[in-house]
Structure 1
Amino acid sequence: MTRDVRIRRIAESDWADIVTLEAGAYTALGLTEGRAVLESKARVSPATCFALDVVPGASTGRPAERRLGGYLLALPYPERSYPGLARREEVVFHSRKLHLHDLVIAEDLRGRGLGRLLFRRLAGGARRQGYEQISLVAVGGSHTFWSANGFTAHPGIADPGDYGPGSVYMTMALAPDRVGDPAPVGGLLSGAPSRDEVG
């Protein structure tokens, strides 16, 4: 599948598909944000936000058009804080912490390691740009997955009014590696495919 995948920066033409993917992942949790809010998060840090293109029929030999199969939004954010869901981001924070706000893979493409590819791109780029830590707010029970993959929970920081009941603020240190594209402390993501590609 990886030869049929391309990770790139988000383009203006991606936003309608991103909004559709985001709604599919988060509507049931009551956590959708809307296009303007999502765009604002990417606008403050375009180098840490990615689109994932796939060619679904390429491996079968059938002609197919490239489509948006997922996206990732991350932005620098102060220690022990996170972006609000309904708030547009206008300030570029100068922080050593990068906040992974959104990672969504289309439902029909989950379980193929595409979320892992997006996360590896983020972690490798974050290291090269001098970030020391990645944070996120785990929702929908995904905190157990993120814990198993090197993230540490910090109870009491995430407001359930912002991200829903059971939301957990988590961080992972980025260990510098002198060779290649280093892995996060705790290793690369692994776990239940349905959980590793939304959160």
Structure 2
Amino acid sequence: MAEHTRVRGIGEADWPAVAALEAEAYADLGLAEGERLLRTRAAAGTCFVLDLDGRTAGYVLALPYPAFRCPDLTRPEHVVHHATNLHLHDLVIARPLRRRGLGGLLAGHLADTARRRGFTTVSLVAVGDKEPFWRALGYRAHHGTPLPAGYGADAVYMTAEAAAHPSQTRRPAC
């Protein structure tokens, strides 16, 4: 049976599933933020869930944020930034569905959204040894960029030009 995959805007009913996926992905790394903090990083029109046969299989949260800065994982976001940089705060695929190209699908959808909405760059903080994944999607590491301590010693700030992102059809394993 073929799976039906759809990327759609995040809705109120999605938050419990998003928080559960986030906890599953980051608890072992000590990076789990929980639903309350995740909600403060959700900007209208730049946060999506991956719906696979009617269940939440993944999500991406992104918000306008000044370049070479990122949210502190221990504090809520109270300021709406008006920036030309879109910060990809979090992208998670459910553990049993990883390495099927779904992370690349979500990243591509966000890149298309960034271009359509006029962002010039997309940034992120790679954690958990994910720098190679993001590099394959066109991101460049900025190892000297200071990050809040909560991201961990191996975290790397990365950027890509919004117009330079590979096509959504390119789907590296995640």
Deviation at 1:121, TM superposition (A): 1.2
Change beyond 3 A, Cα 1:84–1:67: same
Residue from 172, 187, 197 that aligns with 2:160: 172
Alpha-carbon distance, 1:159 to partner: 2.7
Alpha-carbon distance change, 154 to 53 in structure 1, aligned in 2, over 3 angstroms = same
Query: 1:46: how far off?
Result: 1.8
1:1-199 matches, cutoff 5 A: 4-42=4-42, 45-55=43-53, 66-159=54-147, 161-175=149-163, 184=165, 190-191=171-172, 193=173, 196=174
Gaps of 5+ in 1: 56-65, 176-182
Structure 2: which 5+ residue stretches go unaligned? none
1:48-92 CA-partner distances (Å, limit 9, x unpaired): 00011111xxxxxxxxxx111010000000011001111111111
The whole-number CA distance in structure 2 between the counterparts of 1:46 and 1:77 is 13
Q: CA RMSD in A?
A: 1.9
1:52 counterpart letter in structure 2? L
TM-score under structure 2 normalisation? Answer: 0.92
Identical positions, percent: 49
How far is 1:190 from its partner?
4.9
Report the TM-score, using the length of structure 1 for normalisation.
Answer: 0.81
Report the CA distance between 1:149 and its aligned residue: 2.5
Report the counterpart of residue 61 of structure 1 in structure 2. Answer: none
For the residue of structure 1 that corresponds to 2:145, the secondary structure is: coil
* Residue of structure 2 equivalent to 1:180: none
Distance 1:158 1:137, change over 3 A: farther
CA distances 1:112-171 after superposition (whole Å, capped 9, x unpaired): 211111111111111011001000000011112222331111112243622012100000
Moved over 3 A (4+): 186-191
Larger proportion of strand: 2
How many Å separate the matches in 1 of 2:99 and 2:37?
28
Query: What is the aligned length?
Result: 173
